[in-house]
Structure formats: structure tokens, C-alpha cells
Amino acid sequence: MDWTEKYRPSTLSEVRGNNKARDALKEWADTWESHREAIILHGTPGVGKTSAAHAMANDMGWPTIELNASDSRTKDVIDRVAGEAAKSGTLTAGGQGRRLVIMDEADNIHGNADRGGARAVSSLVKEAAQPMILIANEFYEMSNSLRNNCQDVEFSAVQKRSIVPVLRDICRKEGIEYTDAVVEDIAEQNNGDLRGAIKDLQATAEGRDRIEADDYVSGERDTSEGIFEYLDVVLKEGTAEEALKASYDVDETPDDLINWIEDNMPKDYEGAELARAYGFLSNADKWLGRVRATQNYSFWRYAGDNMTAGVAAARDGKKGGWTRYGPPSYWSKLGRSKGARKTRDHIAQQIAAIDGVSMRTARREIMPFLATMTHHCTNRDLTVAMAATYELEAEHVSFITGSGKDTNKVQSVVEDAERRREDAAVEHSGGAFENATVDGGTAAGSDSDDETADSADAADESEPGGSDGQSTLGDETAVADAAADAEESPDDEAAEDDDQQSGLSDFM
Ligand SMILES: Nc1ncnc2c1ncn2[C@@H]1O[C@H](COP(=O)(O)OP(=O)(O)OP(=O)(O)O)[C@@H](O)[C@H]1O
């Protein structure tokens, strides 16, 4: 059984972390009769929003009606399902007959396509005669009207110190011996995401009655051993049919699989076959989008067919040789959510402004390089230099390095960077660091003219450039070279405009 289900809190007092949010939710429920407003619970995945809603309903003795916003896009469905529940105030004397409407993924109803649905939810929120909770990851993706007509409570990341006791507790209940180190590691890796931590714990404890640090393969939950064989079949030698069969042995969802393929495909494919293969990936991505929108998981099949059989069929015959496939960069995984795109663009803007390069160069050449160089903040000095140079906040450092935003690592990097900025307010050139990035970025991106290769490939490929790249660290004199390297071609500028347009249309 899934431990996240088994240990789902059944009363509000079992919801960990987020005490303020919890209290606010309770207060909202206790006083609902007097204000009759809906409430929006928002925050990152896995922090207990849904759990808190159900736990609170349980505490109040309110039966719940669940509605998934993206499931029921049309006005009709929302009216019928929620309308009855929420509007029928007839049974409600003294809280008797109260029913709590919980609408998940409420940030998914927006945009032109869902106008009917969005309006239906807005009016429901205004007229509701039953308490209603909307759950969302991105508060600001919700319409003004919804935000203005509801109370809202933010659930923040669950801190490591709140995660550790939950993990210990589960171990005890499951009769599993553990070391402090393993629980701390799991909590650290999943900082902010309690669901992720519980899943990791379960995966680590699978088939064991004792776990220690070595048993935990950090951050690689579910990464099946078979993935490399699978990539070989798809990208090197298999027919479409063989590729499809191989995919059945891989323990990855299409959502993850597409990142593996997208990141590794350009290492083997080139020219027309690469373009064809991207066509299939793009189809697969559309199907994944449909799954997200409708929760109809049977569409996964079409996504899988496209990314597996399609990509294999796009190849010109068999390929030989050995390729160093790598896990999908943090990068491409994150590019898929709007929040992540905003963070990414903010960082790119900083880089563009400070290094005098275009957004496109910043994003495609410099950022992948930074991501490789500062991966998990292992090279701390460089990470601090980066944060100082580009004036990055914790969330940005976290985005680039892949370390959790609230980890001590990231927090202390940001603090040191701030100190460094203050110390060096005048000599801001930050020459030492800028050299390293721009030099390396250019090297890594030298083959990135290929319009189709928009993946994070560079991050995997761009080894720090051997002793050369390293030796420029701390070398003040190479600033001029770096600046020269960073000169933009007119093409780049044009492409940047394109980028911005497509970026905008993403938000429409
Ligand atoms: N604050 C918490 N206290 C106790 N358990 C939690 C908490 N947050 C998450 N969990 C565990 O993680 C599981 C998933 O949490 P839940 O679905 O409530 O998260 P969520 O914030 O609603 O995420 P999403 O935005 O993805 O829906 C729960 O079943 C529970 O096991």
C-alpha cells in the first residue's frame, strides 16, 4: 500500500508544518456561517493542502464533495456537480447538512478555452451556500475574480525539521530500523515536499527491515535500472515495435520518460532524423498535456507510442557506438511548469543585463553551463559567486543548482553572496566569475545553432572544459575575451523576439 495514503492525516492536528495555515483554515471553517466566503489553499505540491482540507472536514464532521477543476471544465458539469452541493442551502440549519466542496487544481481553469468553466467557478464561489475550498499550486494563475472573491491561505514548503519526525514515526509504525543519517538524507533531499519524502522512504525501505544512508539513492527515486537499456533500444538499434516492448519494462511514467528521451536523443540523432523525432516528442507532449488537463490516463498510451515507437522509427537505421546517456537535467524537467518558466526567465534576465548578452544566449548557453558547474552547490565558492554576480535569491539558486530552496546550503549561499555584494559594491565586475561562465558557456553552446536542440543537452555535455575552463577562474584578465565571446549576432536578437513572443503566448 502507498504510504502517502496510509499515513494521510485524518485530523488537522496531524498535518505537519504550516501551523499558521492550519489555524487559518480552522478559523475559516469555524466562522464560515458569518462570512460565507470560499477559501483558496495554495502552495507547492506535496505540502498537505489536500490533506488539510479533508482533515478539517473530518474534524468538522462535514461530508466532502470532490471536484477536479480540470476534469470538469464546462460550465454544465461544474453547475451540476458543485452547484447542487454548494448552492443547496436548504438543509443547512445550524451546520446540519453542511457539505464541503473541495475543488482540486483550481489554477487549471483559466484562459480562453475554459472561459465557461472559469466563469462557472467564479459565480459558484460568489453564490455558494456551502463551504468551498479551492486548491491550487499557483495562486497567481487564478483569475482576478476568483482571487478577489475568496479568502486565501498559503501553504509553504514543509521544512526538513518537520519532515524528519514524520519519517521516524512511519519507520516505527512499519517496524523498520533506521539510522538518523538516512532519515535526515531523505528529508534533506525532499526539503519542502513531505509527500516526496514519504515516497522516498517507502522506496528505500522496500524489502528491508533496516535502512541506512547507503540504502538511499538520493533524488533518484524510481529510476529504474532498465532505463539505459531502454534508451539503447529506442535511440540506437530497436525497431518501433521493439522500442514499444522495451518501454513496458521501464518503471517510469511517460511524464518522466519524455525528459529522458528529450535530453539524450540529440546525442545520437542529427539532421532530418532529429527533426522528425522532435515531431514525435512534440506530439507526445501534447498528449501528456491532455492527460494533465483531463486526468484521463488512458491518453498516456498515445504519449508513450509517440515518444517510443515514433522516436525509434524516426531514426535512419541502426546506430553503433556507445553514448553516455544521462538522467534528464533538472532543467528540462522544470521547464514544463509555468512557475518554473518564470523563475528561469528571471534568471536569464539578470544574466542578460549583467553580462550584456541576449536572453536567448543567457538561457541556452550560459544557464546550462551554470547548472552543471554549480550542481547541488558542490562547488560552493562558484555558487556564491554566481548568486552575487547575478543577484540571485534562494529560489533562483535552487533552480540552477537543483538544491532545495530552503536547504541550509542554498540559504547560506545566498547570505554569503549578499555579503560579498556588499563588500564589493564598487568593484562589481565580478570578473573572476564572469570569465568562467561566459567562456564555458560559449564552449558548451558552440554547436547550439541547431534550432531544434532546445533541450538541456548542453548541461549534460558541457564538462567544465578541462583544465582550461578551470584555470580561467580567478583570472581577471580574461574579461575582455569573455565580453568579445558574448557578442550577439543579429540572428540571436531576432530569435530572442521570437522567444519572447512564444513565451507570452504561453500565458494567454
Ligand atoms: N503537512 C503534512 N502533514 C502530514 N502529511 C503530509 C503533509 N503534507 C503531505 N503529506 C503527505 O503527503 C501526501 C500528499 O499530500 P497532499 O495531497 O495533501 O499534498 P498537496 O499539497 O495537496 O499536494 P498537491 O498540490 O500535489 O495536491 C499525504 O497523503 C500525506 O501522506
56 lines ligand 1 (CB under 6 A): no
Mean per-residue pLDDT for 44-56? 93
Amino acid at site 260: W
103 lines ligand 1 (CB under 6 A): no
Residue of 163, 195, 199 to test ligand 1 pocket, by largest number of atoms within 8 Å of CB: 195
Eight-class DSSP state of 158: B
- Quote the ligand 1 centre to 9 CA distance (angstroms): 8
* pLDDT at residue 490 is higher than 70: no
d(CA 444, CA 331): 15
Going by pLDDT thresholds of 50, 70 and 90, the confidence category of residue 15 is very high
- Quote the ligand 1 centre to 50 CA distance (angstroms): 6
- In this predicted structure, what is the pLDDT of residue 155? 94
- In this predicted structure, what is the pLDDT of residue 201? 92
Burial class (CB in 10 A: 0-12, 13-18, 19+), 112: exposed
- In this predicted structure, what is the pLDDT of residue 55? 96
4 lines ligand 1 (CB under 6 A): yes
Residue ranges of the binding site = 43-50
67 lines ligand 1 (CB under 6 A): no
pLDDT in tens, 255-279: 888 988 998 999 999 999 999 999 9
159 lines ligand 1 (CB under 6 A): no
Counting atoms of ligand 1 from 1, which one is nearest the CA of 155?
Answer: 21
Q: What is the ipTM, given to two decimal places? A: 0.96
B/e letters for 426-454, b = 16+ CB within 10 Å, e = fewer, are eeeebbbbbbbbbbbbbbbbeebeeeebb
357 lines ligand 1 (CB under 6 A): no
192 lines ligand 1 (CB under 6 A): no
Going by pLDDT thresholds of 50, 70 and 90, the confidence category of residue 71 is low
How many residues can be counted in the chain?
A: 508
7 lines ligand 1 (CB under 6 A): yes
Long-range contacts, 59-66 (Cβ 8 Å, 24+): 59/11, 59/12, 59/26, 60/29, 60/98, 60/100, 62/29, 62/98, 62/99, 62/100, 62/131, 63/99, 63/100, 64/99, 64/100, 64/101, 64/102, 65/99, 65/100, 65/101, 65/102, 66/102, 66/103, 66/104
Mean pLDDT of the chain: 76
* pLDDT at residue 487 is higher than 70: no
Give whichever of 117-131, 240-254, 329-343 has the largest mean pLDDT. Answer: 240-254
Residue of 47, 102, 295 to test ligand 1 pocket, by largest number of atoms within 8 Å of CB: 47
Mean per-residue pLDDT for 65-87? 60
21 lines ligand 1 (CB under 6 A): no
Mean per-residue pLDDT for 294-319? 92
389 lines ligand 1 (CB under 6 A): no
- Quote the ligand 1 centre to 152 CA distance (angstroms): 18
- Quote the ligand 1 centre to 54 CA distance (angstroms): 11
- In this predicted structure, what is the pLDDT of residue 115? 57
Higher pLDDT, 101 or 173: 173
Eight-class DSSP state of 83: I
- Axis crossing angle, helix 160-174 with helix 180-189, rounded to the nearest 10: 130
Residue 187 and residue 160 in contact, taking contact as beta carbons nearer than 8 Å: yes
Pick the CATH number of 160-215 from 3.40.50.620, 3.40.50.1000, 3.40.50.720, 1.10.8.60: 1.10.8.60
Mean per-residue pLDDT for 66-87? 59
* pLDDT at residue 397 is higher than 70: yes
137 lines ligand 1 (CB under 6 A): yes
Ligand 1, atom 7, residue with closest C-alpha = 48
Higher pLDDT, 501 or 368: 368
* pLDDT at residue 157 is higher than 60: yes
pLDDT in tens, 362-377: 887 888 889 878 888 8
448 lines ligand 1 (CB under 6 A): no
Mean per-residue pLDDT for 228-245? 92
Higher pLDDT, 328 or 460: 328
Ligand 1, atom 4, residue with closest C-alpha = 15
- Quote the ligand 1 centre to 44 CA distance (angstroms): 10
Ligand 1, atom 16, residue with closest C-alpha = 48
- What residues does each domain of the chain span? 3-154, 160-215, 227-328, 337-506
- Quote the ligand 1 centre to 124 CA distance (angstroms): 26
Residue ranges of the binding site for ATP = 43-50
% of the chain with per-residue pLDDT over 70: 72
95 lines ligand 1 (CB under 6 A): no
* pLDDT at residue 284 is higher than 90: yes
- Quote the ligand 1 centre to 497 CA distance (angstroms): 40
201 lines ligand 1 (CB under 6 A): no
* pLDDT at residue 143 is higher than 70: yes
d(CA 315, CA 363): 28
Tell me which fold the domain 3-154 belongs to.
Rossmann fold (3.40.50)
165 lines ligand 1 (CB under 6 A): no
- Quote the ligand 1 centre to 58 CA distance (angstroms): 16
- Quote the ligand 1 centre to 251 CA distance (angstroms): 23
- Quote the ligand 1 centre to 336 CA distance (angstroms): 22
Higher pLDDT, 120 or 294: 294
